[in-house]
Chain A
């Protein structure tokens, strides 16, 4: 925590005992999200923990369904050179290299080899060697940045930067799904945003409000909050999915909005319904985050 000028290696480094068996039983296999893990309010249970990365100013770890997200916040860090009267803010979101990204054939221009259906491994050519972000990662980064920007009191931190680094350790998406479904992308963006908000609170950076987010799907006039990834084979027509991020204590101002889905029967009333659904979910998530923080104070 003392050195804010540079990224140093983690303080709590553990050297793995390679080759020594820990007699561990086989790791639990994700059975995938099921309705059993849903609460009465219709949301899935999620696991949240803050302060896991010691040399970051704030960090958070979130598990929900098959998604595992880790966020670290660095800042306010001083910048050299020209004077700026407000902090600059940036978000970088990365998937671990072997994680398949939602709809990556479509957006990341990765080639699909139709001949080898057995190959379920990464389709990102040279995924381990890449340095930049893929189009999907850039898109999620932008969504988080746009949504969090209004909540941070940047004026308090002149000549500084605040950087958020998101690492997606696991997703519940599968590449076998239809390439036309962006629901997985919206779902992961939603949880990345909630996790980033918690990390920002943990960092102690001054905020106007804690941004929380909800995701909802409207299918045949049936509203589903926090939808799980639609399995392949299923009929995906007439499905609208929407992620909306709110500042719930500031008049439910919408700071992030992203809607995808079927076009044929698209009306304003449906958008209203979706925003209502997302707002409900956002409030639930907010209540959970609030109680998490009050419980950690004790």
Chain B
């Protein structure tokens, strides 16, 4: 599957525009600006948390979070991710890599201690992502949608005794769904529940551009994946060829200074992204309607 969406003349024009200082992007965004998105949360009745993000180019991702009570000693991890991308096989390199990225990020940067119910039992979260349509590399889209879904995940209230070290007891939960608590409600004062996110950066000339569109991806010299959690840039950080299967002849190595520059830009602009997502959740109060 080789994508040829730009002619050589268009490629050259776009490349020259993006290497300017500051870069001139086709949709007149600044270098650190994301594409506008539309989001909806808590619309799947059978899930503990759900979210959908749509971009203006028709990209769409739905994430559902479900929980299950497990014996924590038997689980290697309390979070399990699955990703489905329409048009790609589940065992393809593309989907496997997305899954690896998301699992890796959440595994290292999630306050799993708040999922523990008693000394024996814990909630296990199953995060299922479906990418219905996408044009640019969908990792950032998936991760932002996951952020919204996790933020709006509600877990039923435990009514049985927390201490089951001496007397074995099956956990029981309140029948009233209104008593369910957000993951953030379990946290101590002063702590805020902010799941980790990924941002994709395009490397072109001396510039780094946030959230490259599919046309921009065709001319990029390299790409970077940067993760953000707890108000700062964290690992994993890696480079990536964003235009998979394309005939991108610009792809080349990157200067080391761009890696630290990417971290600095992430630290500078990601808090605004997280804040925008939090505002989205606050404003999104109509229940049940997604159309």
Neighbour of A266 across the interface among B73, B234, B260, B264, CB < 8 A: B234
Asked if A84 is at the interface of the complex by the 8 Å CB criterion, the answer is: yes
Q: Contact flags (1/0) for B243-282 with A, using CB distance below 8 Å?
A: 0000101011111100110011000000000000000000
CB–CB A259/B235 < 8 A: yes
CB–CB B93/A141 < 8 A: yes
Q: How many angstroms between the C-alpha atoms of A243 and B61 in the bound complex?
A: 32
Considering the complex, give the chain A residue whose CB is closest to the CB of B2: A84
CB–CB B259/A257 < 8 A: yes
CB–CB A86/B77 < 8 A: no
Asked if A179 is at the interface of the complex by the 8 Å CB criterion, the answer is: yes
Considering the complex, give the chain B residue whose CB is closest to the CB of A154: B249
Considering the complex, give the chain A residue whose CB is closest to the CB of B263: A268
Chain A residue contacts of B230, Cβ below 8 A: 263
Instruction: Known contacts A109-B80, A139-B97, A263-B109; decide if A254 and B252 are in contact (CB<8 Å).
Output: no
CB–CB B235/A253 < 8 A: no
CB within 8 Å of A: which of B222-255?
Answer: 224, 229-230, 232-241, 247, 249, 251-255
Interface size on A, residues (CB 8 A): 51
Which of B23-31, B36-44, B100-108, B186-194 lies at the interface with chain A? Answer: B100-108
CB–CB B103/A106 < 8 A: yes
CB distance from A272 to the nearest CB of B (A): 7
CB–CB B76/A271 < 8 A: no
Asked if A146 is at the interface of the complex by the 8 Å CB criterion, the answer is: yes
CB–CB A266/B249 < 8 A: no
Neighbour of A263 across the interface among B229, B240, B251, CB < 8 A: B229
CB–CB B99/A150 < 8 A: no
Instruction: Known contacts A142-B97, A146-B240, A179-B76; decide if A107 and B103 are in contact (CB<8 Å).
Output: yes
Asked if B74 is at the interface of the complex by the 8 Å CB criterion, the answer is: yes
Neighbour of A182 across the interface among B104, B249, B260, CB < 8 A: B104
Interface size on B, residues (CB 8 A): 42
CB–CB A135/B96 < 8 A: yes
CB–CB B255/A253 < 8 A: yes
CB–CB A268/B264 < 8 A: yes
CB distance from A239 to the nearest CB of B (A): 11
Considering the complex, give the chain A residue whose CB is closest to the CB of B264: A268
Instruction: Known contacts A86-B247, A112-B76, A142-B97; decide if A257 and B238 are in contact (CB<8 Å).
Output: yes
CB distance from A159 to the nearest CB of B (A): 12
CB–CB B241/A253 < 8 A: no
CB–CB A86/B264 < 8 A: no
Chain A residue contacts of B224, Cβ below 8 A: 257
Chain B residue contacts of A206, Cβ below 8 A: none
Asked if B91 is at the interface of the complex by the 8 Å CB criterion, the answer is: yes
CB–CB B93/A105 < 8 A: no
Asked if A73 is at the interface of the complex by the 8 Å CB criterion, the answer is: no
Instruction: Known contacts A179-B77, A180-B107; decide if A139 and B256 are in contact (CB<8 Å).
Output: no
- Main DSSP-derived SS at the A contact region: mixed
CB–CB A254/B255 < 8 A: yes
CB distance from B47 to the nearest CB of A (A): 20
Considering the complex, give the chain A residue whose CB is closest to the CB of B71: A114
Instruction: Known contacts A138-B97, A240-B235; decide if A133 and B255 are in contact (CB<8 Å).
Output: no
Instruction: Known contacts A141-B93, A146-B240; decide if A254 and B253 are in contact (CB<8 Å).
Output: yes
Considering the complex, give the chain A residue whose CB is closest to the CB of B74: A114
CB within 8 Å of B: which of A129-159?
Answer: 132-136, 138-139, 141-143, 145-146, 149-150, 154-155
CB–CB B251/A150 < 8 A: yes
CB–CB B96/A139 < 8 A: yes
CB distance from A112 to the nearest CB of B (A): 5
Considering the complex, give the chain B residue whose CB is closest to the CB of A91: B93
Neighbour of B232 across the interface among A135, A138, A257, A266, CB < 8 A: A266
Chain A residue contacts of B256, Cβ below 8 A: 252, 254, 275
CB distance from B71 to the nearest CB of A (A): 9
Asked if A260 is at the interface of the complex by the 8 Å CB criterion, the answer is: yes
CB distance from A72 to the nearest CB of B (A): 19
Asked if A277 is at the interface of the complex by the 8 Å CB criterion, the answer is: no
Q: How many angstroms between the C-alpha atoms of A263 and B230 in the bound complex?
A: 9
CB–CB B99/A271 < 8 A: no
Asked if A258 is at the interface of the complex by the 8 Å CB criterion, the answer is: yes
Q: How many angstroms between the C-alpha atoms of A254 and B223 in the bound complex?
A: 12
Chain A residue contacts of B107, Cβ below 8 A: 106, 179-180
23 pairs, A vs B, C-beta closer than 8 Å? A86-B247, A106-B107, A107-B100, A132-B91, A133-B93, A133-B96, A135-B103, A139-B100, A149-B241, A251-B255, A253-B253, A254-B239, A254-B254, A257-B237, A257-B239, A258-B238, A259-B235, A260-B108, A260-B236, A263-B234, A266-B232, A266-B234, A268-B264
Further 8 A-B residue pairs, CB within 8 A, beyond A88-B2, A145-B241, A180-B108: A146-B241, A155-B249, A240-B235, A254-B255, A255-B254, A257-B224, A259-B236, A275-B259
Give the A-binding residues of B (Cβ under 8 A). 2, 73-74, 76-77, 80, 91, 93, 96-97, 99-100, 103-104, 107-109, 224, 229-230, 232-241, 247, 249, 251-256, 259-260, 263-264
